[in-house]
Structure 1
């Protein structure tokens, strides 16, 4: 190996995230936090017994020890990955739909490193809870919890000059089994640009592995992310995992990915067989922040089964590693080494329903939190929400009688 080749290899290695785990994904390297989290998990296991150890438990609807929580709501955590708005502005400026889709996917991949930036669980939002924030470039985001069961969080992100709108809803399903936690980010999400074109996004799955029996748990991403521009008949499917036959070491890691943009036709035969899903009917929004949710929910593709995409023509291919870089046809569009993520600034004049006013969340902001007071405040909110849900159900029955 020549000196020049050796230097290039070293440079490639430095692209990888500093906390990259040797087995793939991001490692949890905070030992003190790890011990605190594991203590809370074992406390939960003790309370739940064998059901938690042997079953496939949905953690969203389970009351968790407050020691596992960070002082943020799930509404706040949702926006962690949406901090590369400059990339979306590149997409908004494109006339070529293929190039625009490339930048949308680049924006998505660039944010994935932030999925595991906090290794603690956020608080489940209370029905009607809201959150507002802005980026330095003027991008504004609005959230509202619009359904209790199932938990549904509506959001709307508006770019500078209304160049784009990212809107939709998130309905997470979090499952614990064995030594791992899997999050399925169900819901509908779409980006609408000023010229009217729309890209719909289906998220991959997120994993926390080795949470009990390893010295360094890790966060990983698996499955497929899908991006569809129906107006131009374009689709891209990005598969997460080792890239087959890759010679680049970064593409041989489990946190690598590859995908392709292709023109497609769909098989809509399922629609004629009456397989359209029942429409979700959330409560009327109190704040008005999630107004765009209703247009997303009522769009023609939201309540239909996933179409079968038949590839007609491949337009472009991508590969990379969500902890280092992304290439389109060998041209680099994003690198971690040159990443310039923005950060959210909470609204200075929020609604009274803002997440930051929650009593249980505020208890954790102290340097030495009183866990008992925080746990009591959390359980009080959960009890109130259950009572409210019961009253709504009874009122609905009375109205229908």
Structure 2
């Protein structure tokens, strides 16, 4: 198995990079977001930056001056963690118990509150200095949580790279599914990216479906300076059947009058702040505050209309699926490059990565030739 030949992600979960595009709408020069400053983070960043600088020297300085599509540039294994993106994406679902609580909710408004917290908590889990390997077309991953909830993920497209998944409750009470096509652009020392694709969770008790799409992110400090990750924008949740909707905005610089009521006593803007309203039938029934870094709290979600903290990063237990014992032959764990990197043998991992990329490129060329021969 191989890493996609378009190996160009410098940050976790980002595939296509292009130098020279405008990031002014997101990069405002502030120092908000998650800061990678632990000793382990700094050690990994130093190693990663050296590898990236060496790559840039080989490719030429025109990369930073003119803007070059890096989609087909292969990065060295020093910037990777020993996991495929199909394995890594499960980090987003670390608070899977919130989906199970949503199943048990007695009304669609409470259910929406738990789904929102599940998604926000997942943003917090996507903070790592190293990037996962891009999956190969047809690569799979199967895992199971302690509750019996099963994960099935597959790489369904090579270019553009698209991953698809299903997370299924064993009693069929809910089914969480979706697909992700990671898009990104880079300029100088920053990368802007977003997972394009609709996420949906369906509930069997009333056949309702809640949908949403993740917000854009900005990773700063790629080559020098302090490295940080921030999210910005609005996540729109929709339950059409029950006429319940919720819009959550991240980044205090875009606060509305309603959200300004939740500011701290000093009146300064918390750029990682969450604010939004939950509506049923068009009428506001609750409002939310918090931060994607720390917590989600509903103003009227608790007993007697008191505030309710649904998710707290400092206290909420994190869950991860365990790989199933007898996976498909296409499972990510059988990749030779990942196996070598897990053992700490970077040279062997790099050798296997190069070999498998050549196979991936050859397969892609055959697919293109077949389409041309068929007149498509």
- TM interval, shorter chain, is 0.7 to 0.9
Q: Secondary structure at the match of 1:349?
A: coil
Cα distance, 1:202–1:250 mapped onto 2, change above 3 Å: farther
Residue 247 of structure 2 is aligned to residue 247 of structure 1: no
Cα distance, 1:366–1:250 mapped onto 2, change above 3 Å: farther
Q: Contact conserved, 1:240 with 1:258, CA < 8 A, in 2?
A: yes
Counterpart of 1:364 in structure 2 is 341
Q: Secondary structure at the match of 1:107?
A: helix
Cα distance, 1:392–1:80 mapped onto 2, change above 3 Å: same
Equivalents in 2 of 1:380, 1:45: separation in Å? Answer: 22
Counterpart of 2:18 in structure 1 is none
Equivalents in 2 of 1:253, 1:27: separation in Å? Answer: 19
Report the Cα offset of residue 395 of structure 1.
Answer: 1.7
Counterpart of 2:311 in structure 1 is 334
Report the Cα offset of residue 31 of structure 1.
Answer: 2.3
Cα distance, 1:315–1:217 mapped onto 2, change above 3 Å: same
Residue 121 of structure 2 is aligned to residue 125 of structure 1: no
Q: Contact conserved, 1:59 with 1:176, CA < 8 A, in 2?
A: no
Counterpart of 2:324 in structure 1 is 347
| Residue 285 (structure 2) aligned to one of 304, 310, 315 | 315
Report the Cα offset of residue 314 of structure 1.
Answer: 2.1
Counterpart of 1:211 in structure 2 is 222
TM-score, normalised by the number of residues in structure 1: 0.77
Counterpart of 1:162 in structure 2 is 172
Q: Secondary structure at the match of 1:23?
A: coil
Comparing 131-140 and 57-66, the one that deviates more = 57-66
Can you list the C-alpha shifts for 1:333-384, whole angstroms capped at 9, x where unaligned? 22123211112211111111111111111121123x233x322321221221
Counterpart of 1:258 in structure 2 is 275
Cα distance, 1:39–1:230 mapped onto 2, change above 3 Å: same
Q: Secondary structure at the match of 1:390?
A: helix
Equivalents in 1 of 2:243, 2:227: separation in Å? Answer: 41
| Residue 144 (structure 1) aligned to one of 137, 154, 158 | 154
Residue 352 of structure 2 is aligned to residue 382 of structure 1: no
Counterpart of 1:301 in structure 2 is none
TM-score, normalised by the number of residues in structure 2: 0.82
Report the Cα offset of residue 59 of structure 1.
Answer: 5.2
Equivalents in 1 of 2:211, 2:361: separation in Å? Answer: 34
Equivalents in 2 of 1:166, 1:334: separation in Å? Answer: 19
Report the Cα offset of residue 55 of structure 1.
Answer: 5.2
Q: Contact conserved, 2:78 with 2:346, CA < 8 A, in 1?
A: no
Gaps of 5+ in 1: 1-20, 265-311
Q: Contact conserved, 1:58 with 1:173, CA < 8 A, in 2?
A: no
The alignment's C-alpha RMSD in Å is: 2.2
Counterpart of 1:106 in structure 2 is 117
Can you list the C-alpha shifts for 1:234-286, whole angstroms capped at 9, x where unaligned? 2211111125531268994322211112357xxxxxxxxxxxxxxxxxxxxxx
Cα distance, 1:56–1:318 mapped onto 2, change above 3 Å: farther
Where do residues 2-401 of structure 1 align in structure 2 (5 Å cutoff)?
23-29=32-38, 30-54=41-65, 61-116=72-127, 118-195=128-205, 196-214=207-225, 216-242=226-252, 245=260, 246-247=263-264, 252-263=269-280, 312-329=282-299, 330-367=307-344, 369-371=345-347, 373-400=348-375
Comparing 121-130 and 44-53, the one that deviates more = 44-53
Q: Contact conserved, 2:189 with 2:221, CA < 8 A, in 1?
A: yes
Q: Contact conserved, 1:324 with 1:337, CA < 8 A, in 2?
A: yes
Equivalents in 2 of 1:249, 1:137: separation in Å? Answer: 44
Counterpart of 1:292 in structure 2 is none
The size of the alignment, in residue pairs, is 330
Equivalents in 1 of 2:288, 2:58: separation in Å? Answer: 47
Q: Secondary structure at the match of 2:89?
A: helix
Equivalents in 2 of 1:386, 1:224: separation in Å? Answer: 37
Gaps of 5+ in 2: 1-29, 300-306
Kindly indicate which of the two structures has a greater share of residues assigned to helix.
1
